[in-house]
Amino acid sequence: MAEAGVTPEQIKAFIVEVLKPYFSSLERLEELAVDVLAPQAINLVRLKENSWALHAFNHVLEIYRHASELNPQACYQLCAASEPAIAESLSEYWSSLYFEEPKDDLDLHDFKYEVFRNIGALIEANVQPLLRDVLAQVRIIRGKNPRFDDIKKLKLGNIVDELSRTAGVPDLFAPPPWGVRLNQWRNIAQHHRSRVQGKRIIGVFGEPPNESEVAFSREELFSVVICLFSVFQALSIARTLFFFDRWENIKPYLRETEVRSDVHMMTFVSGVSTQGFRVIELSQNDSSARTTVLDLHETTQQRLIHASHLLIPLWRSSKARLVELRYLTSSKEHKMTFCTTGEACQRLDAEEISIEEYLDHVTFKKVDDGSPESTST
């Protein structure tokens, strides 16, 4: 959207408009729209192109709402108990985005291996924690007294089986047209139960002597990935929107947990993208966080100042002692580098210093003819 010349204000209005039907607190929605919920709005718009996935999303969201009406304390406690595993699953998702490679040039054997690797990782790392949380909510609706420690011990097959029977949307857990359950997709991938036969890819699931096979062309197997990703999105978006809408209710039950910093970086990337910049590179270690951003608009003095202020959300996401941002023009020319300390960002964030005093701690390095040259701060 920013590439099309849409302003940050228009982007925020778009996010609010898309998500408003799913929030009981408009104030909360407007507060989180840009920094937190931008990816959810974009993903939901895409999900609406698939009527089956949209139905699944709406049904899962209704499960959370119904559970909160019947037993709000249990609902919110279980959401809080699920949060560390779900947050860590976002870390795995972020890593997969970093390291994913194109598959177009792979031969059929390598393509099969890579696609099933993606399927196994998606279900095991990302979908499974969400299924456990949904199962807890379904048990509340059924009048049970669920304990998350008990649900954590369940195998994926047991979770999928119970949800298929009780959640009211069985095809979410065995997506059409294949009708293969999520745990069986995971098993095909993790147990390497697939082979190439001519120009077809064969997957085997089930236990002997009741094994079954499913066959795909290259394109059909890739469509499985798209479908399973839609399952993940339906579960994830529904849970995320409910979680932030009921944040004040859930927050008292949350315990302090350490989540890998990459998870917080997702917030930085999504926030920057709504302001007309694209993150090209992002790295972090124990002491510093560095990013390269591409300006999607014409470079002006105002845009340079705007870019320098991105050091603040970079620090908020990383809590690094040093934060640095390389600014590229829309033609990918390295124009400027901004750098400051985490202490300066923290003091500004706490309103201990003014923006003018903060800027005294920012180093501006102007790049001329490919060579950086320090300028006054």
Residue 78 has a pLDDT of 97
Structure tokens at 219: 């394109």
Answer yes or no: are the C-beta atoms of 163 and 138 closer than 8 Å: yes
Q: What is the pLDDT of residues 105-142, one digit of tens each?
A: 899 999 999 999 999 999 999 999 999 999 999 999 99
Residue 291 has a pLDDT of 92
Answer yes or no: are the C-beta atoms of 268 and 281 closer than 8 Å: no
Residue 195 has a pLDDT of 96
Asked whether residue 232 carries a pLDDT value surpassing 90, the answer given is yes
Residue at 290: amino acid letter: R
Answer yes or no: are the C-beta atoms of 2 and 273 closer than 8 Å: yes
Q: How far apart are CA 376 and CA 202, in angstroms?
A: 64
Which whole number is the average pLDDT over 155-159? 98
Nearest C-alpha neighbor of 148 from the set 81, 84, 85, 83: 81
Residue 374 has a pLDDT of 38
Which residues, 6 or more positions from 125, have their beta carbon under 8 angstroms from its beta carbon?
Answer: 89, 92, 93
Q: What is the pLDDT of residues 234-250, one digit of tens each?
A: 999 999 999 999 989 99
Q: What is the pLDDT of residues 99-111, one digit of tens each?
A: 456 677 899 999 9
Residue 94 has a pLDDT of 53
Residue 259 has a pLDDT of 44
Residue 250 has a pLDDT of 92
Asked whether residue 285 carries a pLDDT value surpassing 50, the answer given is yes
Which whole number is the average pLDDT over 207-231? 94
Burial classification of residue 249, based on how many CB atoms lie within 10 Å of its CB (0-12 exposed, 13-18 middle, 19 or more buried): middle
Residue 42 has a pLDDT of 85
Residue 371 has a pLDDT of 42
216 DSSP β-pair partners: 201
Pairing verdict, β 277-284 and 288-295: antiparallel
Which residues, 6 or more positions from 49, have their beta carbon under 8 angstroms from its beta carbon?
Answer: none
Under the banding of pLDDT at 50, 70 and 90, the label for residue 318 is confident
Which residues, 6 or more positions from 72, have their beta carbon under 8 angstroms from its beta carbon?
Answer: 249
Q: How far apart are CA 246 and CA 271, in angstroms?
A: 22
Q: What is the pLDDT of residues 4-54, one digit of tens each?
A: 456 767 888 999 999 999 999 888 898 888 767 877 898 899 999 999 999
What mean pLDDT, rounded, does the chain reach?
87
Q: How far apart are CA 108 and CA 208, in angstroms?
A: 27
197 DSSP β-pair partners: 200
pTM, to two decimals: 0.75
Q: How far apart are CA 321 and CA 343, in angstroms?
A: 7
Structure tokens at 133: 């949380």
Residue 266 has a pLDDT of 65
Residue 245 has a pLDDT of 94
Asked whether residue 258 carries a pLDDT value surpassing 70, the answer given is no
Structure tokens at 17: 């408009």
